[in-house]
């Protein structure tokens, strides 16, 4: 079991039929979200305890917890074998997001939130080079990480090869490419590789991409945050479909 915090993440946990063992609500916390948490917890017979802000802070640390903490079952991270088995069952054409070396939990959480909101089929993360799915990731995703399919790859380069063998096109976001985002064809099964803001996609992964592209920028900014870039790319993919 693990703690999650924040009003939206706790509500998402209650709505997703995830096992919630107990909820802690700070004295004086109120509002529509709090009322909904009480309602759903009562419906599902989940105990709620009122606690001081100090006690809640002792549970989750010095974070913006919004006066709500829940003890839940861990987020299920599925294997690449599971993903390959599920490929035929995803709505077609599918769009996967592959996160290469995303180590900031807030960034990864925002990527998950954008991916779920913009119709992506799932997220693939590296077991070694990415941040794990922590309570911070869940909070940054506004609870989306509790319901969005996430898959782990022991070796991301091999995972890309496996997807290509299963007729999934691999697209990579790269500032060095001359191809513009809206010139890409997202009306086919594809996986979009997004690298960290500082380092981008690793060369070994870039070489395996079927096509690289860039997001055109105007002004003095040379690059985008990985989660912002993911949102822009997925919005274009959704527009085309």
Specify whether 145 is located in the same domain as 162: yes
pLDDT digits (tens, 9 = 90+) for 114-149: 999 999 999 999 988 888 888 889 889 988 998 899
Question: What's 213's domain CATH number?
Answer: 3.40.1280.10
Position 61 scores a pLDDT of 80
Position 78 scores a pLDDT of 93
Rounded Cα distance, 188 and 167, in Å: 9
Domain finish residue from 56, 72, 88: 72
Domain finish residue from 55, 72, 89: 72
Candidate from 30-34, 158-162, 166-170 with smallest mean pLDDT: 30-34
CA distances from 54 to 27, 48, 51, 59, 139 (A): 11, 17, 8, 9, 19
Whether the predicted pLDDT of 80 surpasses 90: yes
pTM over the 0.85 mark? no
Specify whether 55 is located in the same domain as 90: no
Backbone torsions φ then ψ of 68, nearest 5 degrees: -140, 130
Site of tokens 């060095």: 176
pLDDT digits (tens, 9 = 90+) for 177-194: 999 999 999 999 999 999
State which residues form the domain around 34: 2-72
Residue 146: cis peptide before it, omega within 30 degrees of 0: no
Specify whether 159 is located in the same domain as 55: no
Position 165 scores a pLDDT of 96
Position 166 scores a pLDDT of 96
Position 214 scores a pLDDT of 92
Rounded Cα distance, 13 and 115, in Å: 18
Residues 6+ apart with CB under 8 A from 84: 162, 163, 166
Question: What's 17's domain CATH number?
Answer: 3.30.1330.30
Rounded Cα distance, 81 and 151, in Å: 9
Instruction: Tally the domains of the chain.
Output: 2
Specify whether 48 is located in the same domain as 96: no
Alpha helix ranges (H) inside the chain = 7-15, 32-43, 53-60, 80-86, 105-117, 135-140, 156-165, 203-208, 226-240
């Amino acid at each position: 079991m693990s703690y999650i915090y924040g009003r939206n993440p706790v509500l998402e946990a209650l709505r997703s039929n995830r096992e919630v063992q107990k909820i802690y609500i700070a004295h004086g916390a109120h509002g529509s979200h709090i009322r909904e948490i009480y309602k759903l917890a009562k419906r599902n017979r989940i105990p709620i305890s009122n606690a001081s802000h100090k006690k809640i802070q002792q549970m989750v640390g010095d974070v913006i917890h919004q006066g709500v903490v829940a003890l839940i079952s861990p987020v299920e991270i599925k294997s690449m074998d599971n993903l390959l088995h599920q490929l035929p069952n995803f709505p077609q054409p599918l769009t996967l997001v592959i996160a290469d070396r995303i180590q900031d939990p807030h960034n990864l959480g925002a990527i998950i939130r954008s991916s779920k909101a913009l119709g992506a089929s799932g997220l693939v993360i590296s077991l070694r080079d990415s941040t794990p799915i922590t309570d911070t990731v869940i909070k940054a995703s506004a609870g989306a990480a509790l319901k969005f399919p996430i898959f782990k790859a022991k070796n991301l380069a091999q995972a890309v090869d496996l997807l290509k063998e299963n007729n999934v096109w691999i697209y990579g976001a790269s500032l060095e490419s001359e191809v513009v985002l809206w010139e890409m064809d997202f009306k086919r099964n594809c996986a979009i590789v997004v690298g960290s803001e500082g380092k981008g996609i690793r060369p070994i992964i870039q070489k395996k991409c079927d096509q690289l592209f860039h997001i055109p920028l105007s002004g003095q900014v040379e690059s985008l945050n990985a989660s912002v870039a993911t949102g822009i790319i997925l919005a274009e993919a959704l527009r085309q479909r």
